[in-house]
Amino acid sequence: MKVSYHGHSVVKVEANGKTILFDPFITGNGLTDLKAEDLKVDVILLTHGHNDHVGDTVDLALKNDALVVAPFELAEYLGWQGVKVHEMHIGGAHEFDFGKVKLTQAFHGSSYTDYETKTIVYTGMPSGILLTIDGKTIFHAGDTALFSDMKLIGELNNIDVAFLPIGDNFTMGPDDAVLAAKWLDASTVVPIHFNTFPVIEQNPQEFVSKLPEGVGRVLEVGEVLDL
């Protein structure tokens, strides 16, 4: 299985002949190495409805006939645009042909903004995502503050790699993410959601240095982690 990071919160998983994308914010993402027009994707997993996470979902899903898995209200909104969706909600899990998906809570907002019409569409609760595939469990925390139930997520799941936001301002910052990593007890912790915009500039190496030896890993854009 290959897991790669592509700037901001974009994570790609390649396993079982499937390509799965988390939060494909590509167009307008100055840090990504991906080009939306070149991407082949089978499944898109969305943590919440903010523009910098939904990103290119509609175009990618329609072009590739990809399945989009998202919290209920966000999935409904995307379904109205012709996208093939599977609706879920926090605490729920579902077995797909590519693996198991379970949504966890996240403390954040969730809405989609149309800047031309100055309209904000409420898209339900934000979430984190547990993806279990080929016997490995990947946790994408989405955008979130630190919350104590991360301890429970860590106790109930044997997490191989956790992707945690460290940008601060909109999400937890590095110090809170260090505590989150401790509670989740993942084998590998990778920082995400930093340096895309000036307000979330952080030093990921400094964050990793505060984790137990061998746990933290900074993935460069496009770098692959073999699980």
Determine, yes or no, domain membership for 224: no
Q: Please write the tens of the pLDDT for every residue from 104-150.
A: 999 999 999 999 999 999 999 999 999 999 999 999 999 999 999 99
* Backbone CA torsion sign across 159, 91, 49, 206: negative
* Backbone CA torsion sign across 103, 107, 108, 110: positive
Can you give the residue range of the structural domain that contains 62? Answer: 2-216
According to the model, what pLDDT value does residue 8 have?
98
Determine, yes or no, domain membership for 31: yes
Determine, yes or no, domain membership for 226: no
According to the model, what pLDDT value does residue 58 have?
98
Determine, yes or no, domain membership for 222: no
Helices and strands, number each (H, E), in the chain: 6, 15
Q: Looking at residue 71, which CATH number applies to its domain?
A: 3.60.15.10
Q: Distances in Å between the alpha carbon of 139 and those of 22, 45, 128, 135?
A: 11, 12, 7, 13
Determine, yes or no, domain membership for 227: no
Number of domains forming the structure of the chain: 1
